[in-house]
Structure 1
Amino acid sequence: MKKMIYIGSIVLIAILVFSLLLFRFSVKEEFSIITAESINKDVLNNTKAIIYFSTTADQDYDNKGVSYAVFVQKNHMLKVFPMNGLELGSIAIGNDQLLLEDKNSFHLVDDEMKQFHLEEAQYTGERTGYLPKQDIFFSIYNTGFNSGGYQSDVRYGTSDGIKTGSIPHYIVASGVNADRVNILTQDFEKNIYTLQEVFIEEDIEVKEISVLQNASPENMQALAPILADKNFYYLILSTIESETNESVGIYRINKITRKQDYFEFIKYENTDLTATIPYNYKNSATIYEEKLYYINGLGEVYSFDLQTNDIIREFEIDHASKSKVRNNEETYFYENQLYVLRYQQNTRSDYSLETYSLQQGKRTDVFDILALDKVLQFKNNKRVYSYDLKVLH
């Protein structure tokens, strides 16, 4: 009997080793390069998630920067659409439509892809999104100084055409609130932060909401998108107190009275503060069922109860790294789910998409992503980094 168990164990080990080798050798064929002509609704229907990668702006000095929209298929394989580079570029999902962007172009996917070339190149993105009331896609860029001061350019439109405009401010943080975009701007001369709203329709209109009180831009940074419910705006800002100490707070602004409240949210002491920075500050927080959720770079998920103001450390993503070293990991909130693009070397596929339930506070699914490490290999001495993750539903 023992001999039979021993033989069975050897057979099982042999099968496992063979399966692992077969997987490793087959990974080479698990992604394909696609063209604009081949991207349509069929591709989207078979896509679980899309990841945006790009070179940094300083790698585009020779006009050879590159970005990739990686379509993660439901069969775990990848379809890769190459574009020009755009540091901090993003993806936007609309009404059965998709926006991809690079420094020169808008790529709108519906039944087919429509491409719009823009003469003036952009090199650093700020916020890309979709406004359902206007049925408009938009993208805001961190453009830079000109003769009139700081300028953040805007591209917006539909499959019928794209317009351009500008916002005369440096943008610290941004977020989409129903039919408008909220921005937190910094005035370098007055040394103040101002919460404003941007209306994008035929033209672009910017209206001031409130100057942020008791906020000193010299030692502060934004850690999350600007969020809002029917009564308040919420901003998550941190104050650096020393090289290892930091206080993260929530600024709440009443939409009607403009009254401001401050809540201490997270306190870091004797900590490597670089490691606490979110994987992606544009996708690090959400509001779901009267709670504001926030995930930091340590993989810790905190909540702020919008009714009681209670603060809870809800849960932590499994085996979260405490290192400041990042390997293209991303986060994305959707309704009651938190999705995390994870990198774990020497595992079955290196990269995976994990799903966490905000209500249960635990991981509910792991989806292997094949061959992503092969896509991200050096090419022409260029290195790409992840800047966005969207999960399709």
Structure 2
Amino acid sequence: MNLLNDNKPLISRACLLFVTLVLIIAGCSSSKTDETNSKIEPVAAIYYSTDLPNEKIGDGLSYLFLIDQQGKHMTIKKRGLELNSIIPYKGALLLNQKNELLSIKQDSDLIKSTSFEEDCKVYAGYGQSSGQLNNLNTFYSIYNQSFSSDRKHYISKIRWGDQTNNYCKDINEYIEVSGDDGSSIYFISSETEDGNKKSFHKLSLENDKLIMTKTFLEQVKTDGRFMFTKLIPYSNDMVGIYADLVGAKVELNLIQIDKDNKTPLKKHPLVQYDRSNSHYYFFNKESIYVKDGQVYFVDGYGDVYAFNLTTKKLMKKFHLNEYTRQSRLQDEMVYFHKDYLYFFRYNDKTSSHHIEKYNLQGTVESTIILPDLKKKLGNNSVNLYDFKILQP
């Protein structure tokens, strides 16, 4: 009996399956497609990725779009990472993958890859939890990992470095929100055994060393709480917006925390919403900004507010142009940059994605139309996880 001939159909099917798998994986890791057939000068970056439930072979799928002022774009197609964020860094964009770090030059076709050790592998982000420290020389990104094997504490992971030297370390905390002031990272955590017990952390990075302090913040007494925005610096404080669930209402508040947590935290009531739906929530940690002592924020209905930290008065500044809340929770995002608000969204009237630029008085100063973006995304199950402006 000729075993090779007798198993020929089986071998052929196995080869076909192997080739198919290789093609799928190659498709998920293809590097770059230039939609303009020429080099562009990107003014914005937009990142979509699969979430964990939709990850398949090849670790999911992601698209990073680099957009120029005319709406032309480059597409960088890579593997997925849920709630990932992009980091502008020294003329490049840094994009973390599960096992590596990609450095994408904004003004060329160059993409460099740096691999991480297995103990630095990450599985999901916290959503726009990244930045730069130490005079912009150190980048960092924080990731949501899992419970410890004994389930006594939660494990998060931080990656940081300067591209020459890259590091990672576990943080044994569940991080509810984070932010930085350019020198240190600050975050609020909740305890594993009591989720209503909140702590405040200050974290510094010095070469390969991570220095962290932890202090008690408060014991929450409402039905529940979640952070609406990230933390941003104001004078000697970090400020952010959170929602308390109180009976049939949702109460939006501004929290003001001394960076060293040596003075009592301050809370300022903002807006109340009906708790029967979540339309008030914008799914956008970057939707906060401070200018001249006023904290600007955007809610899920498209209303832009400013809270004056001196007078303690709240003012509705404007409404996003022709915006009505729909179901595209993962296809719209705001980003404040140099005293402007930028809004990325899909516009039904033009059947295109737009980037709208508003001044802080609510005037739309310019719009970039992206007619091909929806077609490029196709039917892939991807979510919008980050949007950043790269140039004025």
Q: 1:295 and 1:180 mapped to 2: Cα distance?
A: 26
| Root mean square deviation, CA, Å | 2.4
2:188 corresponds to which letter in structure 1? L
Give ranges in structure 2 of 5+ residues lacking alignment. Answer: 1-28
Q: Tell whether 2:370 aligns with 1:369.
A: yes
Q: 1:231 and 1:161 mapped to 2: Cα distance?
A: 31
Match of 2:226 in 1: 221
Secondary structure of 2:279's counterpart equals: helix
Contact 1:219 1:240 in 2 (8 A): yes
Q: Tell whether 2:122 aligns with 1:122.
A: yes
Contact 1:90 1:100 in 2 (8 A): yes
Q: 1:164 and 1:36 mapped to 2: Cα distance?
A: 28
Match of 2:348 in 1: 345
Match of 1:298 in 2: 301
Select which of 41, 44, 58 maps to 2:53: 58
Deviations 1:29-61 (A, max 9, x none): xxxx983698xxx95x61121101000011225
Contact 2:33 2:76 in 1 (8 A): no
Q: 2:279 and 2:61 mapped to 1: Cα distance?
A: 27
C-alpha displacement of 1:143 = 0.5
Q: 1:55 and 1:37 mapped to 2: Cα distance?
A: 19
Secondary structure of 2:374's counterpart equals: helix
Q: In the superposition, relative to structure 1, how do residues 260 and 363 fare at CA in structure 2: closer, same or farther (>3 Å)?
A: same
Match of 1:248 in 2: 252
C-alpha displacement of 1:326 = 2.5
Secondary structure of 1:274's counterpart equals: coil
Q: In the superposition, relative to structure 1, how do residues 217 and 227 fare at CA in structure 2: closer, same or farther (>3 Å)?
A: farther
What is the TM-score normalised by the length of structure 2? 0.82
Query: Which has more helix, going by share of residues?
Result: 1
| 1:153-192 paired onto structure 2 within 5 Å | 153-191=157-195, 192=197
Contact 2:101 2:115 in 1 (8 A): yes
Q: In the superposition, relative to structure 1, how do residues 272 and 371 fare at CA in structure 2: closer, same or farther (>3 Å)?
A: farther
Secondary structure of 1:166's counterpart equals: strand
Q: 1:66 and 1:217 mapped to 2: Cα distance?
A: 39
Q: Tell whether 2:321 aligns with 1:326.
A: no
Q: 1:364 and 1:104 mapped to 2: Cα distance?
A: 41
Select which of 141, 151, 155 maps to 1:139: 141
Q: In the superposition, relative to structure 1, how do residues 204 and 217 fare at CA in structure 2: closer, same or farther (>3 Å)?
A: farther
Q: Tell whether 2:67 aligns with 1:72.
A: yes
Deviations 1:280-326 (A, max 9, x none): 1x211111221111111111111111222221111110112233443
Give ranges in structure 1 of 5+ residues lacking alignment. Answer: 1-32
Ranges of 4+ aligned residues in structure 1 off by more than 6 Å: none
Q: 1:162 and 1:36 mapped to 2: Cα distance?
A: 24
Q: Tell whether 2:202 aligns with 1:204.
A: no
Q: 2:227 and 2:383 mapped to 1: Cα distance?
A: 21
1:53 corresponds to which letter in structure 2? Y
| 1:231-310 paired onto structure 2 within 5 Å | 231-242=236-247, 245-255=249-259, 257-269=262-274, 272-280=276-284, 282-310=285-313
Deviations 1:177-232 (A, max 9, x none): 12111111011214311121111222222212x43335247511100011221222
Select which of 150, 154, 158 maps to 2:154: 150
More divergent stretch after superposition (185-194 vs 365-374): 185-194
Secondary structure of 1:58's counterpart equals: helix
1:342 corresponds to which letter in structure 2? R
Contact 2:32 2:74 in 1 (8 A): no
Match of 2:26 in 1: none
Q: 1:150 and 1:217 mapped to 2: Cα distance?
A: 23
Aligned length, in residue pairs: 349
More divergent stretch after superposition (254-263 vs 65-74): 254-263
Match of 2:80 in 1: 85
Select which of 84, 92, 103 maps to 1:97: 92
Q: 2:277 and 2:353 mapped to 1: Cα distance?
A: 25
Contact 2:154 2:192 in 1 (8 A): no
2:200 corresponds to which letter in structure 1? L
Q: 1:255 and 1:149 mapped to 2: Cα distance?
A: 25
What is the TM-score normalised by the length of structure 1? 0.82
C-alpha displacement of 1:141 = 0.2
Q: 1:272 and 1:337 mapped to 2: Cα distance?
A: 33
Identity of aligned residues (%): 24
More divergent stretch after superposition (104-113 vs 45-54): 104-113
